[in-house]
């Protein structure tokens, strides 16, 4: 039946032709190559997982099957075999791997990742056993990974760098790889699918070994020091005892006699809430080597002396050689604390920006700033303008200053108490009078000798 053309307007025909021409043009237009291959890239990237498998929860019945195998030789169900690859105590047992070999079990990528994970969690025993025997558990697992030829990209990466993940020197190589790229701990573990921990508070033995190796590789290289203190030492799984042992070792390391390196270490310690200034956070330092603690206090005291006598004194002049005198006593100091008057605090605002370094500074009301040197049984107080050095026994000083680290504003008059001080030695240096000799004799009488 022919259409009735009498009812079709010219405008309708024109609109339909125009619509058709636009669609024909769209279908013949060439698309950008990126638009064409983008879906293909997505499809290709999904082939062979690059993400680690999450650990499987192993039901008790499968653990029981393993025990039955050990005691009675009963075979494991195939499902039990897969799950037991994720039970660390079983998957790191050589007898389990021998069973899998005997039964000619073809392990999946998931199962192989579980076995490697088990080795890393119990690395001390695994690596120790590999040194004493041929055909060790470590060699067996290496062979499993090397023989893997599937699409899983994590297994492929392990295969091509087998020594990094499965060799007696693996932790050191793993650490070197992390330092070479200065990656964050999280980035590095994720890129290698290596676990950091056994549980919330206990590190995986392989990764702990790698972190300790990383510290050793960074500690004597000034170019790597920032990575050591900005990244490695912030790891949350060091544990309090291990962390403080490392800090003590670093402080005593002669490498940190280098001023630039010491500055980085000192800044880290003062800002870290696990440590802080040992002079006012004594509890935090209770477990750190006593020699390391004393050395760190010496660093801080030397810095305080330099700051006070180089920057706080009027016109930065020290005609009575107070700085050089007190530097001789740095090793005897238990603590030190500058107290700044309002005028000096305003003048030194730039130097006082680093709260980590100068957070122990106090305030004093008066025309003078002061500097307290604490030798334990005896205290000495110097003032910014030349006058006298006041020396107190500990008990008398505590009457004036009950809390050495108080945030209250001290007073100049209170620290110049001639009724309580042992003596106030005026800063004279002449042919027959030397203030330094007098102060030295007083300190010696109270057990503070050079």
Indicate the angle between helix axes 259-271 and 240-252, nearest 10 degrees. 150
Tokens coding 121: 């969690």
**Beta carbons within 10 angstroms of residue 110's beta carbon:** 17
Cβ within 8 Å of residue 163, ≥6 positions away: 169, 170, 173
221-230 long-range contacts (CB < 8 A, ≥24 apart) are 222/258, 222/260, 222/261, 224/179, 225/261, 225/264, 225/265, 226/264, 227/179, 227/182, 229/264, 229/265, 229/267, 229/268
Q: Which pLDDT score, from 0 to 100, does residue 21 have? A: 61
Q: Which residues, 6+ apart, have CB-to-CB distance to 301 below 8 Å? A: 330, 333, 335, 336, 373
Token readout for 96 is: 């389990």
Return the pLDDT at 42.
45
DSSP 194: -
Interatomic CA distance for residues 218 and 228, integer angstroms:
6
Residue 53 per-residue DSSP state: P
Q: How many CA atoms lie within 13 A of 288 on its CB side?
A: 27
* pLDDT values of the chain reduced to their tens digit, one per residue, 450 residues: 444 444 445 555 555 556 556 555 555 555 565 555 555 454 444 444 467 888 888 999 999 999 999 999 899 999 999 999 999 999 999 999 999 999 999 999 999 999 999 999 999 999 988 877 678 999 999 999 999 999 999 999 999 999 999 999 999 999 999 999 899 999 999 999 999 999 888 999 999 999 999 999 999 999 999 999 999 999 999 999 999 999 999 999 999 999 999 999 999 999 999 999 999 999 999 999 999 999 999 999 999 999 999 989 988 889 999 999 999 999 999 999 999 999 998 888 777 766 556 668 899 999 999 999 999 999 999 999 888 999 999 999 999 999 999 889 999 999 999 999 999 999 999 888 999 999 999 999 999 999
362-365 and 370-374 strand pairing = unpaired
Tokens 């025990």 locate to 67
CA dist 18 and 38 (Å) reads 32
Q: Is the Cβ–Cβ distance between 340 and 369 less than 8 Å?
A: yes
Beta-bridge partner residues of 409: 363
Q: What is the pLDDT of residue 6?
A: 45
The tokens of 31 are what? 């698309």
Distance CA 224, CA 218 (A): 5
Is 365 strand, coil or helix? strand
- Angle of CA points 72, 97, 57, to nearest 5°: 85
**How many angstroms separate the CA atoms of 117 and 296, rounded?**
40
- Percent helix, percent strand, percent coil in the chain, to nearest 5: 60, 10, 35
CA separation for the pair 189, 174 (Å, rounded): 10
Burial (CB count <10 Å: 0-12, 13-18, 19+), residue 271: middle
Structure tokens at 289: 């080597």
d(CA 376, CA 101): 69
pLDDT score at 131: 78
Which structure tokens are listed for 267?
């800044």
CA–CA gap between residue 364 and residue 344 (Å, rounded): 10
**Distance from C-alpha of 210 to C-alpha of 185, rounded to nearest angstrom:** 11
Residue 422, pLDDT score: 96
Q: What is the pLDDT of residue 27?
A: 53
Residue 209: HSE in the Cβ half-sphere, 13 Å Cα cutoff: 24
Give pLDDT, residue 24.
Answer: 56
| The pLDDT of residue 38 | 56
Separation of alpha carbons 110 and 107, rounded Å: 8
Quick one: which of 177, 244, 92 has its CA closest to 185? 177
pLDDT of residue 5: 47
The region, left, alpha or beta by phi > 0 then psi within -120 to 50, assigned to residue 73 is: left
């Amino acid at each position: 039946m022919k259409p009735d053309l009498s009812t079709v307007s010219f405008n309708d025909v024109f609109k339909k032709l125009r619509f058709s021409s636009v669609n024909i043009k769209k279908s013949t237009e060439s698309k950008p190559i990126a638009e064409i291959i983008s879906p293909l890239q997505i499809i290709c990237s999904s082939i062979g997982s690059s993400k680690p498998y999450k650990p499987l929860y192993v039901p008790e019945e499968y653990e029981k099957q393993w025990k039955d195998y050990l005691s009675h030789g009963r075979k494991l169900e195939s499902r039990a075999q897969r799950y037991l690859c994720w039970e660390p105590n079983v998957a790191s047992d050589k007898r389990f791997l021998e069973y899998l070999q005997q039964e000619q079990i073809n392990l999946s990528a998931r199962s192989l990742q579980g076995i490697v994970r088990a080795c890393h969690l119990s690395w001390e025993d695994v690596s120790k056993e590999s040194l004493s025997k041929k055909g060790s558990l470590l060699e067996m697992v290496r062979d499993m990974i090397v023989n893997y030829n599937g699409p899983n990209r994590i297994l492929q990466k392990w295969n091509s760098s087998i020594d990094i993940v499965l060799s007696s020197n693996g932790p050191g190589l793993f650490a070197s790889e992390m330092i070479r790229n200065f990656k964050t701990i999280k980035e590095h573990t994720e890129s290698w699918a290596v676990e950091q921990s056994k549980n919330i508070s206990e590190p995986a033995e392989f990764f702990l070994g790698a972190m300790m190796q990383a510290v050793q590789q960074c500690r004597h290289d000034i170019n790597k020091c920032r990575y050591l203190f900005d990244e490695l030492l912030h790891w949350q799984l060091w544990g309090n005892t291990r962390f403080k042992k490392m800090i003590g070792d670093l402080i005593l390391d002669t490498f940190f006699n280098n001023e630039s390196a010491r500055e980085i270490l000192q800044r880290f310690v003062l800002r870290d809430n696990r440590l802080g200034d040992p002079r006012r956070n004594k509890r935090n330092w209770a477990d750190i080597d006593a020699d390391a603690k004393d050395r760190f206090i010496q660093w801080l005291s030397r810095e305080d002396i330099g700051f006070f006598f180089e920057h706080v004194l009027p016109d930065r002049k020290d005609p009575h050689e107070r700085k050089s005198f007190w530097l001789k006593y740095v090793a005897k100091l238990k603590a030190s604390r500058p107290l700044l008057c309002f005028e000096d605090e305003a003048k030194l605002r730039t130097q006082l920006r680093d709260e980590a370094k100068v957070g122990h500074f106090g305030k004093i009301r008066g025309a003078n700033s002061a500097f307290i040197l604490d030798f334990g049984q005896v205290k000495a107080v110097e003032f910014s303008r030349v006058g006298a050095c006041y020396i107190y026994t500990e008990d008398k000083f505590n009457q004036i200053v009950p809390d050495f680290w108080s945030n209250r504003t001290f007073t100049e008059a209170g620290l110049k108490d001639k009724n309580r001080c042992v003596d106030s030695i005026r800063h004279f240096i002449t042919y027959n009078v030397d203030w330094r000799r007098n102060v030295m004799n007083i300190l010696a009488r109270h057990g503070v000798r050079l």
